[in-house]
């Protein structure tokens, strides 16, 4: 006959083990955020643009083809990199699924996106397409601006909430990523031939579009929103190639980046920060976190070898050659392009976008380091993830 006290002891131990596992699970999911909701452009798009293009016209966009995705996913996923993006590292560190693109998911399948849904679209702008067309700049990639993405979110919200009468808890328990967004408002215009001075009038409008979207999300119940600033575009291989040999630009001796373009990025970021400071006073109950992508990235532009970028930070891994490994006429994945053998030793992937290794540095600096205001790790503890190399997940 079994000893009753032994049976009770065994049950108690099982309960304690179950309780500890439940607490551990809760800490890295429900304890911080139950879901990730993402808006933005190619820095966050996990496949929406790929879904928007049907099979007959996908060949017009090179990043739907190898070697995109080769490092982690081993196939193209619509991500504009060789592997994971910052949003992927965020999801992995919180023990959430990789954030699924919204486009193409319908009906009852929407419930599968309750733990992560992504509305970001590569090529998207903060201002709508009509504004840019009026300036003589046509976005041939997508018209899925920030306003369009917000409407997608509103339309899909009842399905995400399973038709609950109040979705405020779902939104309030989610980490919302506002971009990065705004960079393409400047990129498309610069590549179309607009001057840096031409774009200065865009900045207040871009920031206003971001702030307006934040206001709406807060009214809907958002409690934690992370808002990235722009990257140092003066270090982008596209612009280093575009302005190569020009006597109209100055270069930073410490990095080799274009000074005027980086100053422009800083102007955008300063204006965005000013508006976020005002919003914190209006919404003291909301965590509005500024993600300093600019200075997080400047670490490896200033000291590439320190971060393992032994082939430099100003040369593309994949592209058409030239002094920066990039050609305006030959894009990564073109039949005549070439790809490096060790992408992790490069910070730049294809001229405009960064490698998985570079995005990992930015993730670590923002989410586990000092490049967020307020510090993200004071709001949600992710310090248990000491070595990102040990993290693995699947789409």
Q: Where are the domains of the chain?
A: 33-60+68-232+257-310+352-390
Q: Of the given ranges (56-65, 92-101, 228-237, 293-302), which has the lowest mean pLDDT?
A: 56-65
pLDDT of residue 109: 81
Query: Is 42 an active-site residue?
Result: yes
The neighbouring-strand residues paired with 354 are 348
Structure-model confidence comparison of residues 112 and 200, the more confident one: 200
Query: How many Cα atoms within 13 Å fall on the side-chain side of residue 1?
Result: 2
pLDDT tens track for 164-217: 777 899 999 999 999 999 999 999 999 999 999 999 999 999 999 999 999 999
Of residues 35, 38, 42, 337, which has the active-site annotation?
42
Query: Is 353 an active-site residue?
Result: yes
pLDDT of residue 163: 66
Q: Which CATH number is 33-60+68-232+257-310+352-390 given?
A: 3.40.50.1110
Task: Read off the pLDDT of each residue in 17-34 and give the average, rounded to a whole number.
Answer: 48
pLDDT tens track for 296-334: 999 999 999 999 999 999 999 999 988 999 998 999 999
| Band of pLDDT at residue 106, cut at 50, 70 and 90 | confident
Instruction: Give the residue among 254, 257, 250, 168 at the shortest CA–CA distance from 217.
Output: 168
pLDDT of residue 108: 73
The β-bridge relationship of strands 372-373 and 117-118 is: unpaired
Instruction: Give the residue among 156, 274, 288, 285 at the shortest CA–CA distance from 214.
Output: 288
Instruction: Give the residue among 317, 318, 343, 348 at the shortest CA–CA distance from 333.
Output: 318
Residues 6 or more apart whose CB falls under 8 angstroms from that of 15 comprise none
389 neighbors 84 (Cβ within 8 angstroms): no
Please give the radius of gyration of the chain, using alpha carbons only, rounded to the nearest integer.
22
Spatial distance between the Cα atoms of 265 and 228, rounded to a whole number of angstroms: 12
| Band of pLDDT at residue 59, cut at 50, 70 and 90 | low
The neighbouring-strand residues paired with 234 are none
Residue 7 confidence (pLDDT) above 90: no
Residue 76 confidence (pLDDT) above 70: yes
Token pair in block for residue 24: 């551990």
178 neighbors 276 (Cβ within 8 angstroms): no
Structure-model confidence comparison of residues 6 and 379, the more confident one: 379
Residue 362 confidence (pLDDT) above 90: yes
Mean residue pLDDT of the chain comes to 88
Task: Read off the pLDDT of each residue in 237-245 and give the average, rounded to a whole number.
Answer: 95
Token pair in block for residue 373: 């205001």
Instruction: Give the residue among 37, 138, 140, 123 at the shortest CA–CA distance from 80.
Output: 123
Spatial distance between the Cα atoms of 202 and 157, rounded to a whole number of angstroms: 31
Per-residue HEC secondary structure of the chain comes to CCCHHHHHHHHHHHHHHHHHHHHHHHHHCCCCCCEEEEECCCCCCCCHHHHHCCCCCHHHCHHHCCCCCCCCCCCCCCCCCCCCCHHHHHHHHCCCCCCEECCCCCHHHHHHHCCCEECCCCCCCCCCHHHHHHCCCCCCCCCCCHHHHHHHHHHHHHHHCCCCCCCHHHHHCEEEEECCCCHHHHHHHHHCCCCHHHHCCHHHHHHHHHHHHHHHHHHCCCCEEEEECCCCHHHCHHHHHHCCCCCCCCECCCCCCEHHHHHHHHHHHHHHHHHHHHHHHHCCCCEEEEECHHHHHHHHHHCHHHHCCCCCCCCECEECCCCCCCCCCCCCCCCCCEECCCHHHCCECCCCCECHHHHHHHHHHHHCCCCEECCHHHCCCCCCCCCHHHCCCCC
CA distances from 86 to 24, 35, 243, 258 (A): 24, 16, 28, 25
**% of the chain with per-residue pLDDT over 70:** 86
Of residues 41, 45, 292, 350, which has the active-site annotation?
350
pLDDT of residue 382: 52
Instruction: Give the residue among 37, 286, 371 at the shortest CA–CA distance from 175.
Output: 37
Spatial distance between the Cα atoms of 160 and 301, rounded to a whole number of angstroms: 40
Averaging pLDDT over each range in 43-47, 158-162, 328-332, which range is the top one? 43-47
Task: Read off the pLDDT of each residue in 259-287 and give the average, rounded to a whole number.
Answer: 98
- CA 51 to chain centroid, in Å, comes to 18
Instruction: Indicate the length of the chain as a whole number.
Output: 395
| Band of pLDDT at residue 286, cut at 50, 70 and 90 | very high
């Amino acid at each position: 006959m079994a000893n009753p006290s032994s049976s009770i002891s065994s049950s108690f131990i099982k309960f304690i083990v179950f309780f500890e596992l439940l607490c551990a699970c809760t800490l890295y999911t429900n304890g911080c955020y139950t879901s990730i909701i993402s808006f933005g452009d190619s820095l966050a798009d996990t496949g929406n643009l790929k879904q928007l293009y049907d099979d007959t016209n996908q060949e017009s966009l090179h990043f739907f083809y190898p070697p995109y995705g080769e490092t982690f996913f081993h196939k193209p996923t619509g991500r504009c990199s060789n592997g994971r993006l910052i949003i992927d590292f965020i999801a992995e560190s919180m023990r959430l699924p990789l954030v699924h693109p919204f486009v193409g998911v319908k009906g009852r399948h929407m419930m599968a996106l309750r733990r992560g849904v992504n509305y970001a679209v590569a090529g998207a702008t903060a201002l709508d397409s009509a504004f840019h067309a009026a300036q003589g700049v046509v976005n041939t990639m997508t018209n899925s601006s920030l306003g369009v993405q917000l409407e997608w979110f509103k339309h899909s919200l009842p399905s995400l909430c399973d038709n609950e009468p109040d979705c405020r808890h779902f939104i309030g328990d989610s980490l919302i990523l506002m971009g990065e967004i705004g960079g393409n408002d400047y990129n498309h215009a610069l590549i179309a031939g607009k001057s840096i001075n031409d774009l200065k009038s865009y900045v207040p409008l871009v920031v206003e579009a971001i702030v307006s979207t934040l206001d709406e999300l807060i009214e809907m119940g958002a409690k934690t929103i992370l808002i990235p600033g722009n990257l140092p575009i003066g270090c982008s291989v596209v612009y280093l190639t575009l302005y190569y040999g020009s006597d109209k630009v100055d270069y930073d001796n410490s990095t080799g980046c274009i000074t005027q373009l980086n100053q422009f990025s800083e102007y955008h970021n300063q204006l965005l920060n000013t508006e976020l400071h005002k919003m914190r006073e209006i919404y003291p109950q909301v965590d509005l976190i500024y993600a300093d992508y600019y200075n997080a990235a400047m670490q490896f532009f200033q000291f590439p070898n320190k971060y393992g970028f032994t082939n430099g930070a100003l040369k593309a891994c994949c592209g058409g050659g030239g002094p920066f490994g990039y050609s305006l006429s030959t894009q990564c994945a073109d039949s005549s392009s070439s790809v490096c053998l060790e992408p992790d030793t490069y910070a730049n992937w294809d001229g405009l976008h960064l490698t998985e290794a570079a995005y990992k540095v930015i993730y670590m600096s923002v989410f586990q380091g000092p490049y967020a205001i307020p510090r993200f790790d004071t709001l949600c503890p992710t310090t248990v993830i000491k070595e990102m190399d040990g993290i693995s997940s699947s789409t």
